[in-house]
Amino acid sequence: MSTLTGTAGMLELTLRRERIHAPAWYGLSALLVVVVGAGILGTYPTDAARADLAATVNADAGELFLIGPMVGTDIGGLLLWRTQGIAIIFLALASLIVVGRNTRADEENGTAEMLGAAALGRAAPLSAALTVAAAGSVSAGLVVAIGFTALGADPVGSAFAGAQVIVLGLLFAGIAGLAGQLLRTSRASTGLSVTVLAVLYLVRGAVDATGGSHWTSPLGWVAAVRPYADNNVVPLLPALALAGVCTALGLRAASRRDLGAGLLSDRTGRSHAARVLRGPLSLALRTSRGTILGGSAAAALLGLLIGSVASTVDEQVSLDLGGTGPGLAPVTLHLAPQIITVLALVTLLRARGEVTSGRAEMLLAGPLHRARWLLAHAATAGIATLATLTGLGLGLGIAHAGADGDATEIALWTWAAVVRAPAVWLLTALTAVVLARAPRFAAASGFTVLGLLLALEFGAELRLLPPEALGLSPFALVPQLPEGADNLGGTAALLAVTAALTALTARLVRRLDIH
């Protein structure tokens, strides 16, 4: 039997399982790129305005690090510059999640072992997942190319911009497939893939800021295509070759390793648990400590970078979103809780992973109440939210404090970030209710609500909806510090609803069949 036997059947199953998730990740990511591009066109409608912007951007090391250079002053050049960072992050994450969920995660929860009882080759699940990721990448590339053309950009340059998106998706699908063979758990393999994405992004930023060679990083290879300027297809070839090498290595490893094992050995743990591990909360914090510490450090670094370039960006464009007042830093504070909600939901939904892996059953067989177990994961998600917002606020505060290290500025920006946590807590509590009542739909419901709120924000920003519509979003009800309204009443309401949802979760989980 070939290692690829049964790939067609696995492809049907993967398409069935991903019929909602994959279109949401790839389709919405591509649409987000187009929508953000459409929004920036209204700010710089003339060639002269775009030329001034290009001169400012290409002379600012911070802008070059965060986003990259502006390769042209036409409509296409503006669209490409403003959206390339979004495309890299969201399309890469889409491929990482689709491949990881249908390979290593299935081995961890026992699904792969059940499927392997049939005539199924060892590499068939990975090949099916990579095929779905490739189809999603091609679809996203077509959406970007068609969308940019519809916005008035050159069709040829738009086709090359779409090709960049396709190659990015293929590259990170291959990276995710290979990472899933190296490490034994889905969390570890996903962490490795995200770390690779972060390192490549930082290297790309450093090269752009210092004027180094674009051959230093695979993301630099993709950027070197320079749509709307050079339209050079050659730099895509090594990126495609790297994607092919990662894919081939992943398929070869999948066909040879033992089911449930990784090519890299696990780190040996302690023979006895630490004294601090005395309850479900300490255990949940222990298993999520990497996510919390990594998210906080990344948020602090992002705050430092954004704070350092905020004054320059504020001179380029006046930003006013959701009542936060003009300025890049306040807008960052307004948007950050929406992004951090993803971290909170992922942390909470690990409770579902504990159930599917069988670990929750072992815990609940002892004198542990279900409510304590589930609420421990919810509390961990809340702590992760608070820690990440604190890191972001510290980064912004240190950047605004400057060389003199004004402690007042640091405290002000840190508090302005922390007080936005109740908005994230509300969505976390709402997802916890669904997790206690209908666990299978918890992830879909949580991310759907978040997506609707993001659409509401973009609709208000692009003036497709009246500003009053933001009153429906919890992210607009928290204090809009440092310059906006206190919104103490809105904060009190959010905390009250969160408490009520938490109590409802504790009640519902008592009657939950965890399987």
- Provide the token pair at 498: 């969160």
Q: Is the peptide bond before 482 cis (omega within 30 degrees of 0)?
A: yes
Instruction: Say which residue, 322 or 479, is predicted with more confidence.
Output: 479
User: In this model, does residue 217 exceed pLDDT 80?
Assistant: yes
Which residue matches tokens 């759907």?
Answer: 448
- Provide the token pair at 30: 């591509």
Of the candidates 130, 116, 95, the one whose C-alpha atom is nearest the C-alpha of residue 6 is 116
User: In this model, does residue 59 exceed pLDDT 90?
Assistant: no
- Position 317 scores a pLDDT of 44
- Position 163 scores a pLDDT of 94
- Provide the token pair at 382: 């809340």
For 164, what's the count of Cα atoms within 13 Å in the CB-facing half-sphere? 33
C-alpha dihedral over 231, 28, 190, 247, to 10 degrees? -40
User: In this model, does residue 405 exceed pLDDT 80?
Assistant: no
Is-contact 370 354, C-beta < 8 A? no
User: In this model, does residue 312 exceed pLDDT 70?
Assistant: no
- Rounded CA-CA distance 83/350 in Å is 31
- Rounded CA-CA distance 450/341 in Å is 8
User: In this model, does residue 246 exceed pLDDT 90?
Assistant: yes
- Provide the token pair at 329: 């830093």
Q: Give the count of beta carbons closer than 10 Å to the beta carbon of residue 499.
A: 12
Sequence-distant contacts of 271-279: CB under 8 A, at least 24 apart: 279/372, 279/376
Q: For 118-164, how does the pLDDT look when each residue is reduced to its tens digit (9 = 90+)?
A: 778 888 889 999 999 999 999 999 999 999 999 888 999 999 999 99
For 20, what's the count of Cα atoms within 13 Å in the CB-facing half-sphere? 7
Burial of 347 (0-12, 13-18, 19+ CB in 10 A): buried
Which residue matches tokens 């086709």?
Answer: 159
- Position 135 scores a pLDDT of 94
Q: For 327-344, how does the pLDDT look when each residue is reduced to its tens digit (9 = 90+)?
A: 667 877 887 898 899 889
Average pLDDT over residues 212-216: 82
Residues 6+ apart with CB under 8 A from 219: 88, 200, 201, 203, 204
Of the candidates 369, 373, 338, 350, the one whose C-alpha atom is nearest the C-alpha of residue 453 is 338
- Position 174 scores a pLDDT of 94
- Rounded CA-CA distance 138/129 in Å is 14
- Provide the token pair at 253: 């490893």
- Rounded CA-CA distance 189/210 in Å is 32
- Position 162 scores a pLDDT of 93
- Secondary structure string (H, E, C) spanning 352-392: HHHHHHCHHHHHHCCCCCHHHHHHHHHHHHHHHHHHHHHHH
Both ends of the chain: CA-CA distance in Å? 34
Instruction: Say which residue, 420 or 315, is predicted with more confidence.
Output: 420
